[in-house]
Chain A
Amino acid sequence: MELSSFLFYLLGALAIASAVSTVMSRNPVASAMSLVLHFFMLAGIYLTLQAQFIAVLQVLVYAGAIMVLIVFVIMLLNLGDEERLREKSSLRRLIATGLGIALLTQLGLAMLASNTDLTMMTSKAVEVGMVEAIGMDLFTNYLFAFEAVTLLLLVAVMGALILARRPSENEKIGSEI
């Protein structure tokens, strides 16, 4: 077996295992650590697809920024495990798992029904994954979307600040009246 196929199977298996562990583990911190592992495995899979830029972004944005935020909130809230909520949801758990498996079957059937002939990846994929090609397209064809995203991020930062802020004493008195 070639190195690239071996890497794909290894990373894919680890990605599925860490995703299952994210969903199953009762401790939120263990769940978050599995998710970090999952993001790293996905970055590796992006590398087998020759998408270097996206792989680096995956590690920086997801494994770096977003997971730090999530772990920080988990630590801030100081939660225990979900033991007291475990018993009463067994029927719901069964139905939900059934729905998930139904979705997976449907996706598989849709994939079998379509006949793509995209079985080979050519050397063009290497140039497509480079920063040069992505940057060229991003700052010409997708410039408006890029500017809109900058605005979105600014609004998100301000929204997060306003939502997470503790209301001051004056406002509390004002709202009671």
Chain B
Amino acid sequence: MEIINSIPLEYYLALSAIIFSIGVIGVLTRRNIIIIFMCVELMLNAVNLTLVGFSAFLGDTSGQIFVFFVMAVAAAEAAVGLAIVLAIYRNNKSIYADEINLLKW
């Protein structure tokens, strides 16, 4: 079969690993829960990139269907998560993770 892309799969996996690690660092360092939320989206996208990469290189549709489901779950998570952020802000007047410590001892 005709070869249409000269970039090996490892490059896509490496890019995905780098973006995932940036997302992890963001979740661990930032205090604003909206930004933590955005870093979680970053990590979901890194995993999506891995799935699409494997799907294209193996010639199998399943990877891209998983990405479809990940996107649906991410949309649901965004709706519920941001509603929780709003509810926390209404009670606490703060959305910084350091100041939300009611369940901490």
Are A and B subunits of one complex? Answer: yes
* A binding-site residues for B, Cβ under 8 Å: 2, 4-5, 8, 12, 15-16, 19-20, 22-23, 28, 31-32, 35, 38-39, 42, 45-46, 48-51, 53-54, 57-58, 61-62, 65-66, 69-70, 73-74, 76-77, 79, 82, 85, 89, 92-93, 95-97, 99-101, 103-104, 107-108, 111, 116, 118-126, 128-129, 133-134, 136-138, 142, 145, 149, 152-153, 155-157, 159-161, 163-164, 166
Contacts A23-B42, A62-B41, A120-B3 supplied; 15 other A-B pairs, CB < 8 Å: A8-B11, A16-B15, A20-B22, A23-B35, A35-B41, A54-B52, A62-B74, A82-B31, A107-B20, A108-B14, A118-B9, A122-B59, A128-B59, A159-B80, A160-B79
Given contacts A137-B62, A149-B72, contact A19 B23 (CB under 8 A): yes
* B86-103, CB < 8 A from A: 86-87, 89-90, 95-96, 98
A73 to B48, CA, bound (A): 25
Contact B21 A134 (CB under 8 A): no
Count CB-based A-B contacts (< 8 Å).
249
Q: Is the interface of B mostly helix, strand, loop or mixed?
A: helix
B contact residues around A22 at 8 Å (CB): 22, 26, 35, 38-39, 42
A and B contact pairs by CB, cutoff 8 A, 9 listed: A8-B7, A32-B38, A95-B28, A108-B14, A121-B4, A122-B1, A125-B5, A156-B79, A156-B80
Complex partner residue of B42 from A35, A103, A104, A152, CB under 8 angstroms: A35
A contact residues around B6 at 8 Å (CB): 2, 4-5
